[in-house]
Amino acid sequence: MSKFLVAYFSRADENYYPEGIKAVKVGNTAKVAQKIAALTGGQLFEIKGTNSYPAKYHPCTKVAKAELERGDRPQLVADIDTADYDTVYLGFPIWWGTFPVAVFTFLEGHDLAHKTIVPFCTHEGSSFDRSLADIKRLQPQASVAKGLSLHGYEAQYEQADSKIERFVQQQH
Ligand SMILES: Cc1cc2nc3c(=O)[nH]c(=O)nc-3n(C[C@H](O)[C@H](O)[C@H](O)COP(=O)(O)O)c2cc1C
């Protein structure tokens, strides 16, 4: 049984990068999550809703905005018993200033009281924005560690590796 859970949401397909819009096979946050899991020996868990998103960037932003405004809470395609873990690394892209709605489903569906949540995000400029306040509001009895925020393009390449290593070392 592993002590660390690395729960993350990530979307592949088109995203905005400094050089323009392009498609990737593995999402930015997924790359970071995989590295954290390898460094901690933690259990990787993908937070994935039964809802879907367009592969194209701009149509995806419209769908994501509408579902956030409606307060959608998609069911998760798979779930995990978080009782076994005392530290939950929680990763997500910033979408419209916070995390995607499936992460709301995850946080509302688990009791992480007295556990440590270690947030990490990827973004294109807004850093954590409202997401940290949203985590604290939804899990008021959890201890929320100082998180790691990376630009999406950094996460895609090895530029971020030393930052991720330092971040993981700081947690232990
Ligand atoms: C629907 C959508 C909304 C986004 N909203 C923001 C935002 O509010 N602020 C920001 O800095 N980046 C925003 N981005 C950029 C993503 O946060 C960034 O590309 C991230 O690295 C994507 O991670 P992923 O590949 O793991 O899904 C948005 C991207 C999408 C697709």
Give the CATH number, domain containing residue 137. Answer: 3.40.50.360
pLDDT at 25: 96
Q: What is the pLDDT of residues 133-160, one digit of tens each?
A: 999 999 999 999 999 999 999 998 888 9
- 9, 13, 123, best to mutate for ligand 1 pocket (most atoms within 8 Å of CB): 123
Please determine, for residue 1, whether its predicted confidence score (pLDDT) is greater than 50.
no
Measured from the Cα of 11, ligand 1's closest atom is 27
pLDDT at 31: 97
Query: What is the rounded CA–CA span in Å between residue 146 and residue 20?
Result: 30
Query: What is the rounded CA–CA span in Å between residue 30 and residue 10?
Result: 6
Q: Beta strand pairing status for 13-17 and 20-24?
A: antiparallel
Q: What is the pLDDT of residues 70-100, one digit of tens each?
A: 999 999 999 999 998 999 999 999 999 999 9
Residue 119 has phi, psi (to 5 degrees) of -80, 145
Span 100-112, mean pLDDT? 98
Span 97-117, mean pLDDT? 98
- Please name the residues in contact with 94: beta carbons below 8 A apart, sequence gap of 6 or more: 121, 122, 123, 124, 126, 127, 128, 129, 131
pLDDT at 54: 98
Nearest to 7 by CA among 165, 135, 133: 135
| Total domain count, the chain | 1
- Confidence (pTM): 0.97
Is any ligand 1 atom within 6 A of the Cβ of residue 28? yes
The C-alpha R_g of the chain, in whole angstroms, comes to 15
Domain that holds residue 108: 4-170
Residue type, 30: A
Q: Beta strand pairing status for 20-24 and 148-151?
A: unpaired
Q: Looking at per-residue confidence, does 159 or 115 come out higher?
A: 115
The overall average pLDDT reported for the chain is 96
How far, in Å, from the CA of 14 to the mean position of ligand 1? Answer: 10
Query: What is the rounded CA–CA span in Å between residue 88 and residue 61?
Result: 28
